[in-house]
A and B are shown apart, each in its own frame.
Chain A
Amino acid sequence: MASRTSSYKVVLLGEGRVGKTSLVLRFCRDTFVDGQPPTIQASCLERALRLGDKTVNLVIWDTAGQERFHALGPIYYRDADAALLVYDITDTDSFKRIQVWVRELRKMVGDSIQLSIAGNKSDLERQRVVSRQEAAEYADSVGAHYAETSAKQNRGLDELFSSMGKRLLASREEKLGSPALGSGPASTRRSRGAAMVLIDDEPPASSSSSRCC
């Protein structure tokens, strides 16, 4: 089973205009070999990562950053295996927004979701307002991986995603060790019963328990 490609859902969160879309586009486009263009474009992209002898397939779901859509986050990150939180190092508000997301994710989804925080636009070092140290400390405190990226100059992206892939694999192997049989990537883990929970703005707390196989 380990040799098989496993697919993970990664949800991309962050305020509007922090560069979520270009970040993921840069990551997925550069090595996007097959001729057919992605049909829903930057909104839902797939990219396969080779990590040693294993292949990890990341399905990256973009979300709308506008405040108006904030309450609808749970619809998106339901069943997500990882979340990539993007902020703009030149914008304190976007960093604060990340912290809101993290709190919400931990509350709604629990610890089963792998968090990565990306400080984007690292090419604009001169306009930086969120210090690297502050962000890294925050990431540590919430158990997230931190990286600074520049979608423009294609910096830090591979490291960010391969670290995410590794941690996804590791957490999955951890789960495989547990007696539960149904574990695996979300696509197989989701039981039919769980799939029918109607999503509300405030999903019931029990929805998180169904994720721990």
Chain B
Amino acid sequence: MRSGCPHRQSRSPLVSSALNFTPVPPGASKCPTRPPCDNAAVLAAPAQRAWLRDAEAHPERLRQYLRRVYEQPIGVLQVNISQFRFFWSAVPSLGHDFQVWWACFLCDYPTGALWAPLSDAIMDPCTTPEPMPFPGFFVTRTPPIHEDVRMTGVPDNMWVEIIRIARRNDKSQERDQCLVGQVRLQGFDSMQFSPFFPKMTLELVDCRGAHRSDALSRWESACPPGHIDLRAASELSNRTMRLAHSALKIEQQQRFIAWLAGSQEDVVLRESEALMALLRSDVSLRPWSLEIAKPTSHMADAATPQPPTAMVELSALVSDAALPVGSALCEFVDDFRDMYGQVAAAPAERASAPSAVPAAPSSSLWPLPLPSLQLLQQLPQRLWWRSRADHAPAEGAPPPLQQVVTRVHEVLTALEGLLDEHLPLSLREDPRAVGEGRRQLAGQLHRSIYAVLSPLYAAAQATEISALAQSSHHMRSLLPCDLQLPPPLWLVEPGDPSAVALRDCGPSDPRLPYAIAVQLLRTLTFYRTPEEKAKVLLEACEEVIKCATRALSLRAAGTGKASKGAAMGADDLLPLLVYVVTRSRVTSLPAELAFICDFLPAGQQHGKEGYALVSLQCACRVAQDLNWTSDSLLRPEAMGEGAGAAAGRSCGAAAATLS
């Protein structure tokens, strides 16, 4: 760490009052360009092991401490030690000193190892082995991240664990705002915590991929699980991120960070002073906070003020024919005609004489590139921001979702009518051209208004989202073998030793049964148009069936019975979808499904996409009130197993979860 770094200076007093850590000096490492790291010393460290044993043997003590830290009344906070990866250093009743291995993203840490993340994201412990204060450490309970991550950054759909340092809930004041260096990102499963934590969100500020030319867009479509709000943490971070992204090389970026660390000293000092003042007045204040999200998505954060009052205004504006939407549409039609014309001209001319129907362009040319509909795209954005500025958040007023949806449908119909009018005659007679034009138009519209619609849906479905989040958390160790299903569809037998490990797996783990379907479903939130989303649903269903069919035919082959067309009906599909929904932890799923249901074109509602949608709606409903204790969907003997696993096997007692 650079000596001038204000973070360290400001935090040292806080930490030293708690505990001192001595990092293990780096040993052998697999980092190709870095000095080696050594885990053996960590694994062999008796103090760490003792501490962990201690913590796990006396979960009540740790729980008491956490309860105090989080200021939660007893009974609200449910702590599951076996899922608990992050330990505070200052456990009062334990009071050990530890050797902690300073881990960076590029290091490997075997399961069971203790590691502490750096207090500065950009710092690499392999090159800066000096001791740094940090209040706690993690226990690795998941397999190491795949090697490719080093090259490509965190891939799509991977869950990340985020540690934020020295931030409190209220981000409105400058002293609470986060610096880039205060955020550490790790490719680990998110922490398991009760969904009842109020006013907490996770923010992801990641600099590792900042040198990539597509860094900004890539992060937007990658990483965030449902409950992680992907955004720069503050204005400062926004600016930082922008600048960091503009720096093309890592070296430039690191220089920039160094500059940032030097220049923001006053902010950090103020933060530190305020913390110290609070610390003196209130002993229970947490000097370091790990922010934990309620496992609801950013779409669904009920505490976030919604600006719904302006939504009606928005839709009125969009549908107002006098507004520039009309001219925007003309542009769109012109573009579309040009593009389609170029593609379709030759075959259409050739075929026009003998047949009344113009020949469709060859299918390899579809889909056509999207014409721009820029004005339409900008309109809601402008309104959105204006509404945020003008309107105080509506108090208790339900978001006028229904009006907005109706209006959007009206707008869409009107736009389609206009499109038909503006299309040249030759194209208008080609059903394929008209269909494609409408499809693209609808896609444009949805892309432009998604940011407005999605919070409305989240608010409308808040209860369902919350129920699903709670249930997904409660049922997080669910496996297909817990369900009333034909045994070949379990993929993993309940008695299998690997089943035990699989129960603790995160949703990105490729060893999970039906992992591909789970991961597919997790991409749902990355798409903006109902058609794209419905396609994801269909693919997820198909993947489940593909997997299950393979298992069935393998079993049929194994038992020597002639395969009489191993086929799966809804009786088997639905329970598996419940499993996939639960495991995927896409907690915004109810809102997503409602959105798709409202806007999926009627033709598709009737087809396979519609079926996939309805099946997932069903599965989602059932997943919301699934529970271990009594559910006709679960095998009776599985109820005990799964519940025990959920309650914390490593504690050796099922009583680890407080109710």
- Residue numbers in B under 8 Å from A69 (CB-CB): 574, 618, 622
- Residue numbers in A under 8 Å from B633 (CB-CB): 66, 68
Docked pose: A187 CA to B612 CA in angstroms: 16
In the assembled complex, the CB of B542 is this many whole angstroms from the nearest CB of chain A, namely 5
**Complex contact B545–A41 (CB within 8 A):** yes
A-contact 0/1 string along B591-634, CB 8 Å cutoff: 00010011010110111100110110110011000000001110
Docked pose: A66 CA to B549 CA in angstroms: 20
A198 at the B interface (CB under 8 A): yes
Within 8 A of A (CB), among B530-571: 538, 541-542, 545, 549, 565, 567-571
**Of A43, A76, A199, A201, which is in contact with the most chain B CB atoms at under 10 Å from its CB?**
A43
A94 at the B interface (CB under 8 A): no
A105 at the B interface (CB under 8 A): no
**Complex contact B538–A40 (CB within 8 A):** yes
A49 at the B interface (CB under 8 A): no
Q: Knowing A21-B569, A188-B602, A196-B409, say if A40 contacts B574 (CB, 8 Å).
A: no
Docked pose: A69 CA to B614 CA in angstroms: 12
**Complex contact B571–A187 (CB within 8 A):** no
Q: Knowing A64-B573, A66-B484, A72-B622, say if A195 contacts B602 (CB, 8 Å).
A: yes
A203 at the B interface (CB under 8 A): no
**Complex contact B409–A193 (CB within 8 A):** yes
In the assembled complex, the CB of B272 is this many whole angstroms from the nearest CB of chain A, namely 50
**Complex contact B484–A76 (CB within 8 A):** no
Q: Knowing A65-B571, A190-B602, say if A39 contacts B542 (CB, 8 Å).
A: yes
Docked pose: A79 CA to B276 CA in angstroms: 64
Docked pose: A71 CA to B622 CA in angstroms: 10
- Residue numbers in B under 8 Å from A61 (CB-CB): 611, 614
In the assembled complex, the CB of A203 is this many whole angstroms from the nearest CB of chain B, namely 13
**Complex contact B602–A64 (CB within 8 A):** no
Docked pose: A23 CA to B322 CA in angstroms: 57
**Complex contact A187–B606 (CB within 8 A):** yes
B-contact 0/1 string along A40-58, CB 8 Å cutoff: 1111100000000000000
- Residue numbers in B under 8 Å from A24 (CB-CB): 569
B642 at the A interface (CB under 8 A): no
A192 at the B interface (CB under 8 A): yes
Docked pose: A22 CA to B566 CA in angstroms: 10
Within 8 A of A (CB), among B256-306: none
Interface size on B, residues (CB 8 A): 43
A62 at the B interface (CB under 8 A): yes
In the assembled complex, the CB of B547 is this many whole angstroms from the nearest CB of chain A, namely 12
**Complex contact B597–A62 (CB within 8 A):** no
B413 at the A interface (CB under 8 A): yes
**Complex contact B594–A7 (CB within 8 A):** no
In the assembled complex, the CB of B363 is this many whole angstroms from the nearest CB of chain A, namely 15
A-contact 0/1 string along B97-117, CB 8 Å cutoff: 000000000000000000000
A34 at the B interface (CB under 8 A): no
- Residue numbers in A under 8 Å from B359 (CB-CB): none
The range of chain A's interface size is: 35 or more
| Chain A residue nearest in CB terms to B604 | A187
Docked pose: A41 CA to B571 CA in angstroms: 12
Q: Knowing A43-B615, A44-B608, A59-B607, say if A72 contacts B571 (CB, 8 Å).
A: no
**Complex contact A39–B618 (CB within 8 A):** no
**Complex contact B622–A41 (CB within 8 A):** no
**Complex contact A187–B603 (CB within 8 A):** yes
**Complex contact A42–B567 (CB within 8 A):** yes
Q: Knowing A72-B618, A196-B409, say if A9 contacts B606 (CB, 8 Å).
A: yes
- Residue numbers in A under 8 Å from B571 (CB-CB): 16-17, 20-21, 62, 64-66
| Chain A residue nearest in CB terms to B595 | A196
Q: Knowing A43-B568, A66-B575, A196-B402, say if A187 contacts B602 (CB, 8 Å).
A: yes
A29 at the B interface (CB under 8 A): yes
**Complex contact A62–B569 (CB within 8 A):** yes
- Residue numbers in B under 8 Å from A41 (CB-CB): 545, 549, 567-569
**Complex contact B568–A44 (CB within 8 A):** no
- Residue numbers in A under 8 Å from B402 (CB-CB): 196
Docked pose: A67 CA to B574 CA in angstroms: 12
In the assembled complex, the CB of A188 is this many whole angstroms from the nearest CB of chain B, namely 7
| Chain B residue nearest in CB terms to A60 | B611
Docked pose: A65 CA to B618 CA in angstroms: 12
B132 at the A interface (CB under 8 A): no
A176 at the B interface (CB under 8 A): no
A186 at the B interface (CB under 8 A): yes
- Residue numbers in B under 8 Å from A72 (CB-CB): 617-618, 621-622
A135 at the B interface (CB under 8 A): no
Contact of B632 among A7, A68, A193 (CB under 8 A): A68
A-B residue pairs in contact (CB < 8 Å), sample of 23:
A7-B606, A17-B571, A21-B568, A21-B571, A25-B567, A40-B611, A41-B569, A42-B568, A43-B541, A43-B545, A44-B607, A44-B608, A64-B573, A68-B631, A72-B617, A75-B614, A79-B605, A192-B413, A196-B405, A196-B409, A198-B460, A198-B597, A201-B621
Give A residues with C-beta under 8 Å from B: 7, 9, 16-17, 20-22, 24-25, 29, 39-44, 59, 61-69, 71-72, 75-76, 79, 186-188, 190, 192-193, 195-196, 198-199, 201
Listed from nearest, the 10 A-B pairs whose CB atoms lie closest are A21-B569, A64-B574, A44-B611, A192-B409, A62-B570, A196-B598, A187-B606, A64-B570, A72-B618, A42-B567
